[in-house]
Amino acid sequence: MKKQMSLKWKIARYLYIFAGLLLFILILFQLFLLEPMYEKYKLETMSNIISKAIQAMDEEGFADTIYNISSMDDVSIRIYDGKKDIMAGNYGSPLYKMKLDELNSLVRKTSENKGEYIQKTVLKHSDGHNEETKSMMLSRIVNRNEQPVLVVVYSRLSPMNVTLKTLRIQLLYIAIMLIIAVLLLTYVMNKHIAIPLIRINKEAKEISEGEYDIDESTNEYLEAQELNATLLQASNDIVQAEKAKRDLISNISHDLRTPLTMIQGYGEMMLDLPNEMNEENMHVIIDEATRLSYLVNDLLDLSKLKENQIHLEYETFDLSKMIEGQMKKYAVYEVNEGFTIVSEIQEGLCVYADCNRIEQVFNNFMTNAINYCGEVRKVIVRVFLKNEVVRVEVEDFGIGIPKDKQELIWDRYYKLDKTHVRPLNSSGIGLSIAKEILDMHHATYGVESQIDQGSVFFFELPVGTVANVK
């Protein structure tokens, strides 16, 4: 991965680019565009003056108007009809020093130039100061009583050198101030934007190294606060997952050790005491080995389900018949352990699902009902049609599940009673397997339970048509 520039430097870079751009615009306008813009403005003023002068020509007090205009705008005006001056004043101005033949040549140039002519003059002074005087002359020809008349306006252009010198010094100060401002801004933005992110980043790295303590005190700005909260959440989740994993390992180890100890104990006893070599003891060994293989199979199943390695084999089958078949298995509890197992199964209800997997879910519900039935050794199994879905319920009247734990029991690592020793072949992850299977079927499922009253575990599947399955 290409190494990226740190946020600190990025902020500084953009601020410097911004300051540079600002300075560039200032230099462009103040040093380079000032003179052309001034000349353009001056030309527009002179053009307006000519228009005013032409307008005033036929009015009374013409001479006064011209005099006022020229003194107000500091320009000289000369109006010439081809033979003589109609209006002239301010004889000191270079405009009035123009001879008649020069005026005539100006008339010619103006008429050749579509009636308007601009002439710029630069006069260099030879007094050693390298100074120059610039002036501009704008002439226009108008028709007056069928007679062409030349109107000329002359103006000196203010020298720019001094202004430009002042501006240059000003720009230098502005540049220095901008650099200081950028430095200050970089510092402030770093403190408030980059530093919290750097700290959160450091904490994230620490999480990956197994250090889960996150500082909660970020209050600089919303995004950093949210990022910190997310990190905190992630770290808490990891801590919980780690704990759950440790719990799972310790539970599984415990569950593995119990049958293994039994197998080992019985095996050694049978070896040492030849008269213990009997069928009953061998059954104990076989039962414990079976329990072990259940546990291992369940674990493998769950991990495959979690990783989507198991594909459901959909078929339309008679759910009522399948459950009736399974019920025979549990009759033994009625005979041997005094259970009452009631079946209320509506006949002939078909569903489109994976038969073996649904059987697995049902058996898990049954095993749990028998496991957690408490003193009242009664289990009721119901299968019935309800609003176009087939509902399967397994009810017991045992210890029940607290409301706040009813969501959690479907989690892989969650167990209500940590010290519980399972009397049946149960791995402790049966409900998470059931959840995965039912989720894959997009089925509705859940538990309704009250402490010391019992629980009803249920699932619902649509009546079996292919179209109902996603």
- Other beta carbons within 10 Å of 91: 9
Which tokens belong to 300? 């493998």
CA–CA gap between residue 172 and residue 76 (Å, rounded): 39
To ligand ADP, the closest distance from the beta carbon of 426 in angstroms equals 4
Nearer to ligand ADP (CB atom), residue 162 or residue 421: 421
CA of residue 175 relative to chain centroid, distance:
37
Q: In angstroms, what is the minimal distance from the CB of 411 to ligand ADP?
A: 9
Which residues lie closer than 8 Å to 31 by C-beta, 6 or more apart?
164, 167, 168, 171
Task: Between 382 and 422, name the residue whose CB sits nearer to ligand ADP.
Answer: 422
Which residue, 430 or 464, is less far from ligand ADP as judged by CB? 430
Q: Which residues bind ligand ADP (CB under 6 A)?
A: 364, 368-369, 371-372, 396, 398-399, 401, 409, 415-417, 422, 426-432, 455
Q: Which is nearer to ligand ADP, 354 or 396 (CB)?
A: 396
Question: For ligand ADP, which is the closer residue by CB, 154 or 410?
Answer: 410
CB of 452 to ligand ADP, least distance (A): 10
We find the least distance from the C-beta atom of residue 359 to ligand ADP, in angstroms, to be: 15
Which C-beta is closer to ligand ADP: that of 154 or that of 459? 459
Smallest gap, in angstroms, from Cβ of residue 363 to ligand ADP? 10
Minimum Å gap between C-beta 218 and ligand ADP is: 38
Nearer to ligand ADP, 71 or 450 (CB): 450
Q: Which pair of tokens denotes residue 122?
A: 């630069």
Least distance (Å) between residue 400 CB and ligand ADP: 6
Nearer to ligand ADP, 93 or 368 (CB): 368
Kindly state the smallest distance separating residue 433's Cβ from ligand ADP, in Å: 8
Nearer to ligand ADP, 317 or 372 (CB): 372
- Distance of closest approach, residue 420 Cβ to ligand ADP, in angstroms: 6
